[in-house]
Amino acid sequence: MEDRRIKGEQDMRVLVLANDFPTKNNEYTGLIFVKEQVKELAKLVDEINVVVPIPRGIEKFREHQYGVKNIRYENYTIGDNVNVYFVKYWNPLFPVTFYKFRKEWLYLETRAIMRFLRKEDIKFDVIHAHYSWPCGALGIKLKEEYNIPVVITEHTSQTLKRFIEKRDAFIFNVWRKADAIIRVRKGDINLISQAVNGRTPVFYIPNGFDGKKFRVIPKNVARETLKLPKEKRIILNVAQMYSPLKGHEFLIKAFSKVLQKQNDVLLVLVGDGRLRPKIESLIHELNVQDHVVLAGARPHDEIPLWMNAADLFVLPSLSEGNPTVMFEALGVGLPFVGTAVGGVPEIITSEDYGLLCPPADPECLAEKILIALEKEWDREKIRKYAEQFTWEEIAKRVINIYLKYLKK
């Protein structure tokens, strides 16, 4: 195996804990951004073991929630130094609850994961848990057992807001016991720091994108490959249809207003989920079905084609942490129109990259889309701006945090 060690540093073995993870060939893409980050981190460390706790039966729940079929969680490897383990265990609290009876849930999950780690004799020098609950709490239990530093990345938006507003003692205790917290949105750093009374350092590191995968492809080539019309102006949205928070309702209402001014426009929706019938119903109710393509869930490797085929990317979310899809769009030089929620305005800092409006405001969204369709965008400038957000750059920042706490 080639030497992946950072110059002048010790060997490093990382244990990654994640609530979900994509299957081997990304047939199912749950938390794809964690996998993409892991792939880059693997180039900088000796070994990564990804451990994903799977309460038995959760596959059926996720198949319904996300509109996918036959999720098969089977262990696999990535390259020569990443092992992905789906640890299935019995948890009678699922699906009755996820946030209640947390101590009982944590006891069952910790017991299952500790048994697995001992059985497989997995060694690690640092733990990186994604999401405060339950994997962050699990990471703290492992820290107490193994005396290993724990870094927690918090990705949520609405859930984090509830933690803070309710002064959630359980989660605050998890944060205080962590060695470091990574938050994907800069605006929440002070809130988390106040919650832990400054005991745990909090770092801002946004999500990113794969710069090799999300590269520029000629628009005509992308459209021909996807059998999309070459003469239309295409608005693209990529989002799972499982939560109203993704704002599909407001996008479709805005699009109906856009069509009153421009009729050579096509809206392409990539994604699927339990809300699809409701979305289809609204499309027909507003009589825009001849101008909308419901592409369904597409393989992640195919998303760069859809983005290169588009003229504009629109993300009308009512709430976000730091959406990976935004970085992917910028990475191919695609201008962005979206809502000023979560970490979005921390990235779309100039009208050279995109236009923003308030959430749940179809009139403003329609106005911004119309402006964006007429604007002459410097797509190379957008692409160059996005280079700072490649997973390669993000991984370097994450590694520096690992090293800081390993030295202690």
CB 36 within 8 A of CB 391: yes
Tell me the mean pLDDT in the region 367-379: 98
Burial of 349 (0-12, 13-18, 19+ CB in 10 A): exposed
What is the band of 8 on the pLDDT scale with cuts at 50, 70, 90? Answer: very low
Query: Which residues, 6 or more positions from 255, have their beta carbon under 8 angstroms from its beta carbon?
Result: 235, 265, 267, 288, 291, 292, 366, 369
pLDDT tens figures, 43-53: 999 999 999 99
Is it the case that residue 10 has pLDDT exceeding 50?
no
Q: Roughly what angle, to the nearest 10 degrees, separates helices 137-146 and 102-120?
A: 50
What is the band of 1 on the pLDDT scale with cuts at 50, 70, 90? Answer: very low
> What structural domains does the chain harbor?
13-207+390-406 (3.40.50.2000), 219-389 (3.40.50.2000)
Sheet holding 265-270, edge to edge: 292-296, 265-270, 233-238, 312-315, 336-339, 354-357
Residue 35, token pair as written in the block? 């996998």
Torsions phi, psi of 234, nearest 5?
-110, 125
The CA distance from 325 to 334, in Å, is 11
Tell me the mean pLDDT in the region 337-362: 97
Which neighbouring-strand residues pair with 151?
Answer: 128, 180
> How far does CA 251 lie from the centroid of its chain?
21
Is it the case that residue 3 has pLDDT exceeding 50?
no
Tell me the mean pLDDT in the region 276-289: 98
Strand extents, DSSP E, 283-322: 292-296, 312-315
Tell me the mean pLDDT in the region 395-400: 96
Average pLDDT of every residue of the chain: 94
Over pLDDT 70: what percentage of the chain? 97
- Give the strand pairing for 233-238 and 292-296: unpaired
Is it the case that residue 130 has pLDDT exceeding 50?
yes
Is it the case that residue 167 has pLDDT exceeding 80?
yes
Residue 140, token pair as written in the block? 């703290």
The confidence score (pLDDT) of residue 407 equals 67
CB 28 within 8 A of CB 141: no
The confidence score (pLDDT) of residue 4 equals 47
Q: Measure the CA dihedral 232/236/241/247, to 10°.
A: -110
The confidence score (pLDDT) of residue 124 equals 96
The confidence score (pLDDT) of residue 7 equals 42
What is the band of 408 on the pLDDT scale with cuts at 50, 70, 90? Answer: low
CB 254 within 8 A of CB 362: yes
pLDDT tens figures, 168-196: 999 999 999 999 999 999 999 999 999 99
The confidence score (pLDDT) of residue 9 equals 43
Buried b (16+ CB within 10 A) or exposed e, 120-129: eeeebbbbbb
The confidence score (pLDDT) of residue 322 equals 87
The confidence score (pLDDT) of residue 96 equals 67
Most confident of 7-16, 94-103, 309-318: 309-318
pTM exceeds 0.75: yes
Please give the helix or strand (H or E) that residue 83 lies within, else none: strand 82-89
